[in-house]
Structure 1
């Protein structure tokens, strides 16, 4: 079975394959949130500041940002079973190496390895779930995957806090190798053998190199601005040449052409803005809880649970509202609620308790739950039918861009304004502004699209 091979005449549903895909998504989502809780302890263990420790997250998200598009094209004709097993094995090996890391450099390198194989998983798993069932059951199949994915994000803070208390920072990275064994064995048993995996073409390698260079230059500039001096931000200009070259090649023109289509660029920009604001605040909160409120790992984990809890509770509500109220209204309402949660957090002070922070974070999670599905629907509905695959990949890239930028932006604001309550309040204020800009880009894009429809 090839990766993008869809059997329109499939007569039966293979729900065990769907669950296997869902477990893979669970593993990837769990990894993101379980590590976030451990960041302060990782910094203390290796004796590094936040400018370096943020690369435990950035080392994972940078390959996801740069490799999803080229890997998707490379694997279009690949057999599923060997690619999935190799991807899970590589992802799990990265987790094992991270748990054994003797230094911060080793740990970051292991996270980069995880990100490279994670990019392949993000391409493989949604397609695997939808091609394992009949066309009439694809909505339910994606429902299984989209339930297990957020459940991984929901479980991460609690598991991370417990493991941190009992097994230290290394134990946090050992959960995913155990899940990876289950996914790999299931794939070996359930999926057909397939053929040989094609070698990557020169175009895919060139695209990956250009995107890595551009994204890496921006993130390194932000890191040096935090660790050394804000003047290092000029280094971000190094990203311009590879970005321009990429945009003029065939694979880049396909994406830029999609962005010029009415109604597409606005939701994608809003998604990047939302992810930047959300992940930036998620990055700082464990440091605030640990340093200012003297909270233990268990308390940090339970407090950070507020965001995925709000997302899980209101994600289905967002889907229901999208069908009945419209995607734009639902996504816009999500941004308003999301921004209101940040506004509530602006009042934080030394008198606050972890539960007070959790309340504001939960409102942020509620807004995210309303926004996410509706915004993706808005993007896909606006895209031309022949560009749906590119639009789906663009959604992933837009989200990963925000996930990569969030810690760097928040850390920069926090460092410049003082690493305490004032610094976190400043970062939250920036998150509010970024969220508002996201709403504006959606509104402007929808207005332009409506004007074209009525003329």
Structure 2
């Protein structure tokens, strides 16, 4: 590594984890928010969507700005904005206040996501890039997957405000590590037009697959809490424990997935990950009861970890230093477009199948789960059919 290796890597890892955690930690609180603010599912759904829209709107620009002004400097600023926004979310007296604070949180997260992948080449040697990409891909999956489980624990200990207040100390810790260990050098002006970055080999197909797969994962985090609480009758604490299975699986499989990608190449590992995900989504479309749900979740998360490591490595490996932030922004943009599709589009499938989620019977909620992941299987198969150009 080129700078203080362990501290730099820990700073990047925590930044990625926090940004991804912010994507899903609020999902498990949606039933509680609906009751606290006396709002509908469609209204509280904006707590999730607002965060994703803010990220999507600025993440590519954040990546390009980091290339110009300095990626380390912009990451530090993004972490401070993120921490401040978490505090505002925790103090929200109304639902519109909370949604507005989530927009600000998403702006900070956009910078964090773009700069984290973009700074890999600034902090590690080229021989270790694949493994670090695998690690960061794992942490992205773990952060997104552990949000509902961690949120369930926080809800059982306090209330929905704890879901956001947690980000304040962790964001400040990440900012302190970034200031201490990451290079704060000035950026460079990339040559050529902005969208010429899309000419990177494998980028276009990688972005499309990332969008589709992320939509499927987000459907799990939006629909899963309702199925576990309304369909199976689990209390928030137990719901959190059930959803902790996903993060545990991602933590175990993610780093080995990076090694498998280095050994066998990105295309076969990408397809292997998609194949495992398809089996997991099909299992969710047929799931009846907690054991079946858990088994399907294990398969889906395992496949996602493998896909992330292989796809991210393929997209970023040939990017020159002047464009790392921009391409990282594009990669994260595709992911967040997918998360929006999952939260809104696949969430709409669930809402259509289960119109009155507050009074719905367990059978009606299960039907919503099955309908949603029936559509998700089709999205995964579409991703697998996209032509590889590595």
Please indicate the TM-score interval, normalised by the length of the shorter structure.
Answer: 0.7 to 0.9
SS at 1:168 equivalent: coil
Contact 1:50 1:411 in 2 (8 A): no
Q: For residues 432 and 134 of structure 1, do their structure 2 counterparts lie closer, same or farther at Cα, with a shift above 3 Å needed? A: closer
1:207 — aligned with what? none
- Say whether residues 1:115 and 2:54 are aligned partners: no
Q: CA deviation at 1:192?
A: 7.2
Bigger relative contact order (CA 8 A; separation at least 6): 2
1:206 — aligned with what? none
Counterpart among 153, 167, 182 of residue 176 in structure 1 = 167
Q: For residues 91 and 279 of structure 1, do their structure 2 counterparts lie closer, same or farther at Cα, with a shift above 3 Å needed? A: same
Q: CA deviation at 1:415?
A: 2.1
2:265 — aligned with what? 326
Contact 2:117 2:328 in 1 (8 A): no
Q: CA deviation at 1:265?
A: 2.7
Greater Cα offset, 286-295 or 136-145: 136-145
2:38 — aligned with what? 47
Q: CA deviation at 1:140?
A: 6.0
The aligned runs of 1:14-413 (5 Å cut-off) are 14-79=5-70, 82-133=73-124, 135=126, 138=129, 145=136, 148-153=139-144, 155-190=146-181, 250-251=193-194, 253-254=195-196, 258=199, 263-349=202-288, 352-353=289-290, 355-380=291-316, 390-413=326-349
CA distance in 2, matches of 1:122, 1:369: 17
Contact 1:263 1:382 in 2 (8 A): no
Q: For residues 384 and 298 of structure 1, do their structure 2 counterparts lie closer, same or farther at Cα, with a shift above 3 Å needed? A: same
- Say whether residues 1:438 and 2:383 are aligned partners: yes
CA distance in 2, matches of 1:194, 1:265: 30
Q: CA deviation at 1:268?
A: 2.0
TM-score (norm 2): 0.86
- Say whether residues 1:416 and 2:361 are aligned partners: no
Q: CA deviation at 1:79?
A: 4.6
CA distance in 1, matches of 2:122, 2:160: 38
Q: For residues 360 and 179 of structure 1, do their structure 2 counterparts lie closer, same or farther at Cα, with a shift above 3 Å needed? A: same
* Cα-to-partner distance string for 1:100-158 (whole Å, 9 max, x where unaligned): 11111111111000001111111223344542355555556556655655554454333
* Cα-to-partner distance string for 1:160-181 (whole Å, 9 max, x where unaligned): 1121012100111111101112
Q: For residues 377 and 85 of structure 1, do their structure 2 counterparts lie closer, same or farther at Cα, with a shift above 3 Å needed? A: closer
Q: For residues 262 and 148 of structure 1, do their structure 2 counterparts lie closer, same or farther at Cα, with a shift above 3 Å needed? A: closer
* Cα-to-partner distance string for 1:235-292 (whole Å, 9 max, x where unaligned): xxxxxxxxxxxxxx953x435x53xx77443332121111111211321110111112
CA distance in 1, matches of 2:159, 2:153: 9
CA distance in 1, matches of 2:8, 2:255: 23
Q: CA deviation at 1:316?
A: 2.9
TM-score (norm 1): 0.74
2:362 — aligned with what? none
SS at 1:394 equivalent: helix
Compare CA radii of gyration and give the structure with the larger one: 1
Q: For residues 143 and 103 of structure 1, do their structure 2 counterparts lie closer, same or farther at Cα, with a shift above 3 Å needed? A: same
- Structure 2's unaligned 5+ residue stretches are 356-364
CA distance in 2, matches of 1:117, 1:95: 10
Number of matched residues?
Answer: 379
1:208 — aligned with what? none
